[in-house]
Amino acid sequence: MAGAGALLRHCPLLLPQDRHGTAYEGFVTAQGRDFHIRILLPVDLQLKNARIECSWHLKKILHGYRHILKQRLCSCPDLVSFMVELKTVLEIALKNAQDLHIPWPPEYYSCLVRDLEILGWNRVAYVDTGLTTVKLKAEDSCGRQHLITLKLNAKYPTEPPGCLVDFPVPFAVSWMPQNFLIDIYNQFLAALESLKEFWDALDEIDGKTWVLEPENPTRSATSRRIAIGNNVSVNIEVDPHHPNMLPECYFLGADHEVNPLRTKLNNNMHLWNPEISLLQNLRELLEIDFPSRVVLEKRDFAKDCGICYAYRLDGSVPDQVCDDPRCGQPFHQACLYEWLQGLPTSRQSFNVIFGECPYCNK
């Protein structure tokens, strides 16, 4: 009964409930507090198959440590070792819980409420129950709605809050301890106006063309893949600082379709006019009219992959097309690469793999 003596030394309030040593009930002590616990062991006394029952309070404290306790049940050689481990984990859990509930200074709350009053509650979109996260709403000069999320810490206003915005460029806040939230808000408004032309350009593209990717663009997204025709598209990357300048353009489609477009872009590049919209410039340089959202549906351009028969695969859409004019079947790059790797006739040169089309064998 040496094991029973060791258990009594480490957990004097945990007592056996039967002569076989398969049931124990009592209390485990940590930081001067007692927590009710009941441990049921199988007949073979294997800890990994033990069942632990405890009070709801202890269960809540140990909620984030369950995987550790399961691991300890499997690795500890006996109940005494496990109870020592349990007490250690419980000490850590209690310490972390105390750190989370250290009350913030009253000055923090008075400063925050004062700042929100100065800012105006009509500009507040959300405040969490702990008064540590605040979302402010704003409307730019074109009527677009924007949010800025402020993450505050206990040292506010000595330290500035963290700011999260849906911008294509970094948003750096200028802050002094004597500043108010309205100072951040005004900087936010100024940043919105500095990005007006960028968002104007992309809003026109989103409203007047069929954008294949991204499917639901955020305000921070700088690229658009625009449908030009059946299995032909152009991916543009717009510079947020210079949205009216020629963007980076990458054409996707069969060579016989995209090569003429590349030639037109290169030959007409000097005609780019920063005084007109980005979309109008693309029309004139490429000498095309982008498919209208009024006349055509997105499904006219969103063709499924010829290998997996799906349009979206892990967020990507088919962007590889058979070069044979009579085929033109689109594929996901990942699907096509896997297909070609499996063909004995395929060959690879550096990072490019060559092989036969799954559809036309060209």
**Are both 297 and 309 inside the same structural domain?**
no
**Are both 218 and 286 inside the same structural domain?**
yes
Burial bucket for residue 86 (CB in 10 Å: 0-12, 13-18, 19+) = buried
- How confident is the model over 235-282, as pLDDT tens digits? 999 999 999 999 999 998 778 888 999 999 999 999 999 999 999 999
Position 203 in a domain: no
- How confident is the model over 61-100, as pLDDT tens digits? 888 888 888 888 888 888 888 888 888 888 888 877 765 5
Position 162 in a domain: yes
Residue 2 has pLDDT above 50, yes or no: no
**Are both 284 and 270 inside the same structural domain?**
yes
**Are both 315 and 290 inside the same structural domain?**
no
- How confident is the model over 153-167, as pLDDT tens digits? 888 999 999 999 999
Predicted pLDDT at 234: 93
Q: Residue 37: what are its φ and ψ, rounded to 5°?
A: -150, 150
Residue 309 has pLDDT above 90, yes or no: no
**Are both 260 and 340 inside the same structural domain?**
no
Predicted pLDDT at 296: 64
b/e burial code for range 192-228 (CB count within 10 A of at least 16 → b): beebebbbbbbeebeeebbbbbeeebebeebbbbbbb
- Residue-level length of the chain: 362
Position 204 in a domain: no
Predicted pLDDT at 201: 97
Comparing 311 with 137, the larger pLDDT belongs to 137
Position 199 in a domain: no
The residue with tokens 């049931």 is: 23
Q: Where are the beta strands (DSSP E) in 31-167?
A: 33-40, 51-54, 124-127, 133-139, 145-151, 162-165
**Are both 132 and 177 inside the same structural domain?**
yes
User: Where does a domain end: 136, 165, 193?
Assistant: 193
CATH number of 47's domain: 3.10.110
Comparing 101 with 245, the larger pLDDT belongs to 245
Residue 320 has pLDDT above 60, yes or no: yes
**Are both 136 and 60 inside the same structural domain?**
no
**Are both 9 and 92 inside the same structural domain?**
yes
Position 115 in a domain: yes
**Are both 181 and 219 inside the same structural domain?**
no
CATH number of 245's domain: 3.10.110.20
Comparing 217 with 68, the larger pLDDT belongs to 217
- How confident is the model over 238-247, as pLDDT tens digits? 999 999 999 9
CATH number of 325's domain: 3.30.40.10
Helix (H) or strand (E) holding 208: helix 196-208
**Are both 31 and 78 inside the same structural domain?**
yes
| Sheet containing 33-40: order of strands | 14-16, 23-30, 33-40, 51-54
Question: pTM, whole model, 2 decimals?
Answer: 0.62
Q: Residue 233: what are its φ and ψ, rounded to 5°?
A: -155, 165
**Are both 294 and 233 inside the same structural domain?**
yes
User: Where does a domain end: 193, 219, 245?
Assistant: 193
CATH number of 184's domain: 3.10.110.10
Position 75 in a domain: yes
**Are both 113 and 89 inside the same structural domain?**
no
Domain of residue 325, residue span: 303-361
Mean pLDDT of 171-182: 93
- How confident is the model over 5-56, as pLDDT tens digits? 777 787 888 888 888 888 899 998 888 888 899 999 888 888 888 888 988 8
Position 165 in a domain: yes
User: Where does a domain end: 100, 135, 168?
Assistant: 100
Position 200 in a domain: no
Structural domains counted in the chain: 4
Predicted pLDDT at 102: 62
Comparing 215 with 118, the larger pLDDT belongs to 118
